Structures are given as C-alpha cells and as structure tokens.
C-alpha cells in the first residue's frame, strides 16, 4: 500500500489554514500578496500549483514581482549545480528587499533544502530565510506558516522521509488548458549521478481511482493537454494497474483532449506501453526517453540498467508501431572518466536515434551521489568542447527533420501569442509552431499545415 497521508492529518492542515487566514486578515487588513517562483521539473511545478492552492486558501493574493510581496516562496531544484546557483542568487537578492519591507517573509522549499549539507548552508549563511522545508512537507505548508507567523522564529521541516501521497490538496493551476497530473512520486533507480532519489524519496504511485477522477475533472473543465508526471512515469504500479493499463483507461475518457507523459525510463519501456500509445486515440505521439550516454561502459557506471542496443531497439519498435513518433531525450556529457571514444559512441547513438529535440547537460557532481566521488580527470574545457560538438550534431538533425515536415498537416494546440506570427502552439510531437489566426483560438486545437522551416522553427497556416 502506498503511504497516503491520513485524512485526519490533512483536516488538521485545513484547520491551520483557517487560523493563518484569520491571523493575516487581522495583521494586514487586506489580502497579503505572495510571490511564488518554481525552478526545475514539471513535478516541482505540480507541487508549486498545490502550494499556491493552499496559499489561496489562506487568503493570499498573488503578485508577479517579489518587490511588492508579503510572502516569497522559492520552490527550488537541486538537479545540477547551475540550478542551485540560480536559486541561491535569487534568494540573495531577497535579503535587501526583506530588510526594506515591513512585512516580507521568505521561504525556500523544494529539493535544495532536502539535502542535509544544503539545509545547513542555508541555515548558516541565509539568516533572512524564515522558512525552510523540503518536498515531503508540501502538504504541511499551513502548519509551517502558522508556526512562522506565531513564533516569529525561523521554521525548518527538512527531515528525511520515504515520502507520502497527499490527496485532495487545493490547487491553483497555472493554465486553463494545459495541466500537470502527477501519477507517481519518488525514484528507486539511484542512477549514480542523480540526487532525485535522495530528495524525493521512494517510488510510490497514486491509485488509479484518484488519477482517473482528476483526469475526468480536467477534461470536463475543458483542459486540452494533460501531462501525466512521474520521475519514472512508466514504472507506475498500483493495485492491478501498470502504466500501459493506466494509459488505456485514461484514453477511454470522452472529450477533446491530448495525453502526454514524462519522464519514461528505457528499462520499463516495453512493447505493452508502445502498443498502448500507438492504439490510443488521445495519446500524443511524443516519447521523452532519456538515454544519457551511448557508451555501454558509461551506462553501466551510471547504473542505467540498459545497453545502447536495447535503447535503440525500443526506439526502433516505437517507430515501427508509430511511424510519426517524435522522440526526445536527455544526454549527460562528461560523466567521470568518459573518454573521447566513449563520447563518440554517444554521437553515434544520437545520429541513429534522430531526436526531434535533445536536452544536453554537462555532468554536475551532486554531493552524496556515487558519481561525485569518482575520479574525473577530463578538464571542464574539454567537456564544454564535447558538449558543443553534440549540440551542433543535434541542431543539424533537428534542422533536417523540420525541413522534411514542410507540407505536413498537424493538429496544434494554440497556446499563446507568437513571436513572429500571430499565434504559437505545439504539435502532438511537442514542437513549437507559429501561424496566423485570431487570438480567440488560444486554448483550442487547430489544423495547421507546415509551410516553412527556419532551422528548427516551424511556421504554418491554418487550413479547413
Ligand atoms: N527521471 C528522469 C529525469 C531526471 S532529471 C530520468 O530518469 O531520465 C532530468 C535530466 O537531468 C536527466 O535525464 C539527466 O540527463 C540530467 N541530470 C540528472 N542529474 C544530473 C547531473 N548530476 N549532472 C548533469 N545532468 C544531470
Ligand atoms: Fe534520477 Fe535516474 Fe531516478 Fe531519473 S531514473 S530521477 S535520472 S535516479
Ligand atoms: Fe529538480 Fe527536484 Fe525536479 S532536483 S528536477 S526539482 S525532482
């Protein structure tokens, strides 16, 4: 059984929320303003939407600029050093804002403070942060705010936990037509470079009933694009459901919507999942399948549990059953001890996989992970050089792929105003395309024919 937070514990949080609401109404005589900034993955975005829901319940309004805020919440990511540096930089800038404001309180949450060394650093060097908590404490936000406001002292909630599932939290979604739908949390894979299993706890899945009910409500409310989320979304397991079965059930919902999911791990991406995708009426032909490296030795060192050949076989079968599939991936360049020859194996794999787009990262050592302790003789400049070589290769592939799409018709979700043409939207394959049309189409699907490809930018026109 997944460790679900008891309804009584959640009811207690609602009582705290009511207390905070009263306390702040007395103190401010107006709705206090919250500024919330989320870094990192979509799972963190989904947490951010829940925290905003709880803040709204506590009477907060929301502002776009931390300068005018009574409460600032930085929801951080620890995946690479760069993500942490950005959040620390922004946190540092809050120091003087907080001093200049009579009311501002600052909270830092998410994956960064869940690491003991980082919690310690924040406590020691960022004394103006009033509240520090990790992903396991998200549903306890009302209680944490109550303690912060009533004691006037710093509050911390970053203890290590296997993690739980809190159902029924209030939600303030960032969009009226695109939604994140978490289906599982945590990770048990312990890839040797990765901090996620340490900060997000053990793998646990929501029940199919909870997921189907949320999806049903989203479709009835007019949501057009629903992304099922999990660090290893395809390792989903609850009751007698595995991920392919969950997908097939969700696909049966009636309505004008598109389903996506991320991130899939290649080790759990078998024919059952790819067949369910291919046979689905609502499932976007988009598979995000990080490979990380094309070298089998590096994949072993990374603890990825597949070989490059097995990965390419997944991609081959996926395209056999979905010839129009858009495959995207992630690659880490410069894993400790990666030789130039091993890097060339990554280039060769990228040539064969023909990704629509590829997210490339230079290895960043994460304290406490196995890879951080491995000897790493390759100089940073050489890693940067490899990184550039890889991105240049991928750019040329993306360019060719885009050029080959001219004349093709795509069902596009219109999302926002365009930069070059009136509207911008996304294809089922998750490619951005611009086209002219009325703003009233935002949030709707349109049939768009691709007319031009400028490198990897697509232009089109609405037809029918
Ligand atoms: N659960 C997903 C994604 C995890 S994080 C998966 O298993 O693929 C997103 C990406 O960040 C990873 O796919 C990886 O490419 C990259 N990443 C993770 N840890 C990293 C590190 N220490 N240094 C550089 N890139 C990293
Ligand atoms: Fe990190 Fe690996 Fe888990 Fe992905 S599968 S979150 S890369 S440990
Ligand atoms: Fe970052 Fe945490 Fe997501 S480390 S990528 S925000 S799980």
152-207 pLDDT per residue, tens = 899 999 999 999 999 999 999 999 999 999 999 999 999 999 999 999 999 999 99
Distance of CA 389 to the CA centre of its chain: 27
Q: What is the pLDDT of residues 237-268, one digit of tens each?
A: 999 999 999 999 999 999 999 999 999 999 99
Query: Does any ligand 2 atom lie closer than 6 A to the CB of residue 197?
Result: yes
Residue recorded with tokens 């404001």: 101
In this structure, are residues 408 and 449 in contact, taking their beta carbons and an 8 Å threshold?
Answer: yes
CB 331 within 8 A of CB 390: yes
Q: Which ligand is nearest to the CA of 233?
A: 1
At 3 the pLDDT is: 86
> 191: Cβ below 6 Å to ligand 2?
yes
CB 248 within 8 A of CB 219: no
Q: How much distance in Å is there from the Cα of 409 to the middle of ligand 3?
A: 35
Instruction: Identify each DSSP E strand in 206-274 by its residue range.
Output: 225-229, 237-238, 241-242, 258-262
pLDDT digits (tens, 9 = 90+) for 284-320: 999 999 999 999 999 999 999 999 999 999 999 999 9
Ligand 2 centroid to residue 219 C-alpha, Å? 30
What was the pLDDT predicted at 457? 87
Distance CA 19, CA 208 (A): 34
Which protein residue's CA is at the shortest distance from atom 2 of ligand 2? 191
Which has the closest alpha carbon to 111: 30, 171, 197? 197
- Model pLDDT for residues 446-455, shown as the tens digit of each residue: 999 999 998 8
pLDDT in tens, 388-418: 999 999 999 999 999 999 999 999 999 999 9
Which candidate, 120, 122, 70, places its Cα nearest to that of 97? Answer: 70
Residues flanking ligand 1, CB < 6 Å: 79-80, 193-194, 196, 231-232, 263, 265, 290, 292, 330, 332, 361, 363-364, 366
Percent over 70 (pLDDT), the chain = 100
76 - beta bridge partners?
110
257 phi, psi to nearest 5 deg = -145, 165
Inter-axis angle of helices 141-151 and 7-28, to 10 degrees? 40
Q: Which two tokens stand for residue 207?
A: 């029940």
pTM: 0.97
Residues 272-295 have a mean pLDDT of 98
For ligand 3, the distance from its centroid to the CA atom of residue 256, given in whole angstroms, is 31
- Backbone region of residue 449 per phi and psi (left: phi > 0; alpha: psi in -120 to 50; beta: other values): beta
Q: How far is CA 146 from the centre of its chain?
A: 29
Residues 222-237 have a mean pLDDT of: 97
Distance CA 232, CA 262 (A): 7
| Mean of the per-residue pLDDT values of the chain | 97
Q: How many Å lie between the centroid of ligand 1 and the Cα of residue 10? A: 32
Report the pLDDT averaged over residues 447-464: 92
Pocket-forming residues, ligand 3, beta carbon under 6 Å: 40-41, 43-44, 77-79, 110-111, 195-196, 199-200
The sign of the CA dihedral 74, 77, 82, 84 is positive
What is the tens place of the pLDDT at every residue in 322-375? 999 999 999 999 999 999 999 999 999 999 999 999 999 999 999 999 999 999
What pLDDT score was predicted for residue 305?
Answer: 97
162 CA to middle of ligand 1, Å? Answer: 21
CA 193 to chain CA centroid, Å, is: 18
90-109: average pLDDT: 95
Q: How far apart are CA 34 and CA 322, in angstroms?
A: 45
Per-residue pLDDT reduced to its tens digit, 54-74: 999 999 999 999 999 999 999
Supply 226's token pair: 């629903």
Predicted confidence at residue 1, as pLDDT, reads 62
Q: Which of 385, 339, 345, 394 is nearest to 362 (CA)?
A: 385
Substitution site in 43, 189, 370 for ligand 2 pocket (most atoms within 8 Å of beta carbon): 189
- Please give the backbone phi and psi of residue 107, each rounded to the nearest 5 degrees, phi first: -125, 145
- Examine the pLDDT at 424 and tell me if it is beyond 80: yes
Pairing outcome for strands 423-426 and 184-185: unpaired
Rounded to the nearest whole angstrom, what is the distance from the C-alpha of residue 239 to the centroid of ligand 1? 29
User: Band of the pLDDT at 427, cuts 50, 70, 90?
Assistant: very high
Predicted local distance difference test score (pLDDT) of residue 464: 73
Residue with tokens 């400049």: 381
Task: Give the separation between CA 233 and CA 243, rounded to whole angstroms.
Answer: 8
Centroid of ligand 2 to alpha carbon of 399 (angstroms): 29
Contact 111, 138 (CB under 8 A): no
pLDDT at 454: 86
Quote the pLDDT of residue 186.
97
Q: How far apart are CA 157 and CA 159, in angstroms?
A: 6
Ligand 1 atom closest to the Cα of residue 366 is 22
Instruction: Give residue 456's pLDDT.
Output: 81
Cβ–ligand 2 distance for 349 under 6 Å, the answer no
Q: Which residues contact 126 (CB under 8 A, 6 or more apart)?
A: 91, 92, 95, 108
Structure tokens of 418?
Answer: 């365009």
Of all protein residues, the one whose alpha carbon is nearest to atom 5 of ligand 1 is 79
Q: Enter the tokens of residue 249.
A: 């059930």
Q: Determine the distance separating the centroid of ligand 1 and the alpha carbon of 194, expressed in angstroms.
A: 6
Counting ligand 1 atoms within 8 A of each CB, the residue from 290, 301, 357, 358 with the most, and so the one to mutate, is 290
Q: Which residues contact 349 (CB under 8 A, 6 or more apart)?
A: 291, 293, 294, 308, 311, 312
**What's the pLDDT at 213?**
98
């Amino acid at each position: 059984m997944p460790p679900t937070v008891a309804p009584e514990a959640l009811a207690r949080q609602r009582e705290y929320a009511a207390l905070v609401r009263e306390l702040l109404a007395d103190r401010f005589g107006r709705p206090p303003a919250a500024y919330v900034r989320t870094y990192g993955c979509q799972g963190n975005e989904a947490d951010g939407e829940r925290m905003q829901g709880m803040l709204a319940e506590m009477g907060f309004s929301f502002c776009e600029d931390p300068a005018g805020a009574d409460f600032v919440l930085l929801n951080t990511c620890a995946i690479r050093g760069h993500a942490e540096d950005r959040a620390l930089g922004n946190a540092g800038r809050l120091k003087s804002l907080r001093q200049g404001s009579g009311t501002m309180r600052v909270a830092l949450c998410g994956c960064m403070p869940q690491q003991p060394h980082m919690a310690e650093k924040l406590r020691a060097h960022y004394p103006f942060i009033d509240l520090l908590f990790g992903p396991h404490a998200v549903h306890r936000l009302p209680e944490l705010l109550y303690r912060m406001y009533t004691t006037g002292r710093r509050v911390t909630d970053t203890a290590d936990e296997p993690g739980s599932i809190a159902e029924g939290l209030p939600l303030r979604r960032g969009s009226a037509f695109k939604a994140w739908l978490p289906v599982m949390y945590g990770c048990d894979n312990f890839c040797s470079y990765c901090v996620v299993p340490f900060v997000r706890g053990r793998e646990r899945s929501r029940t199919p009933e909870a997921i189907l009910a949320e999806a049903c409500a989203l479709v009835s409310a007019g949501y057009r694009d629903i992304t099922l989320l999990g660090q290893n979304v395809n390792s989903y397991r609850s009751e007698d459901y595995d991920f392919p079965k969950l997908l097939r059930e969700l696909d049966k919902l009636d309505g004008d919507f598109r389903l996506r999911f991320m991130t899939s791990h290649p080790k759990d991406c078998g024919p059952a999942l790819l067949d369910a995708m291919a046979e689905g009426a609502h499932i976007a032909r988009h598979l995000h399948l990080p490979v990380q490296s094309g070298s089998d030795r590096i994949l072993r060192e990374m603890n990825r549990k597949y070989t490059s050949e097995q990965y390419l076989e997944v991609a081959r079968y996926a395209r056999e059953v979905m010839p129009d599939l858009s495959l995207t991936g992630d690659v880490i360049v410069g894993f400790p001890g990666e030789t130039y020859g091993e890097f060339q194996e990554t280039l060769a794999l990228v040539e064969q996989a023909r990704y629509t787009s590829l997210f490339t990262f230079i290895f960043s050592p994460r304290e406490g992970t196995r890879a951080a302790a491995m000897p790493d003789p390759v100089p940073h400049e050489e890693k940067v050089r490899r990184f550039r070589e890889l991105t240049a290769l991928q750019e040329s592939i993306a360019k060719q792929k885009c050029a080959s799409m001219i004349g093709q018709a795509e069902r596009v979700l219109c999302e926002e105003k365009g930069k070059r043409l009136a509207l911008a939207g996304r294809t089922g394959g998750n490619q951005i395309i611009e086209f002219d049309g009325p703003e009233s189409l935002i949030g709707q699907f349109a049939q768009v024919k691709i007319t031009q490809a400028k490198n990897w930018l697509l232009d089109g026109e609405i037809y029918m």
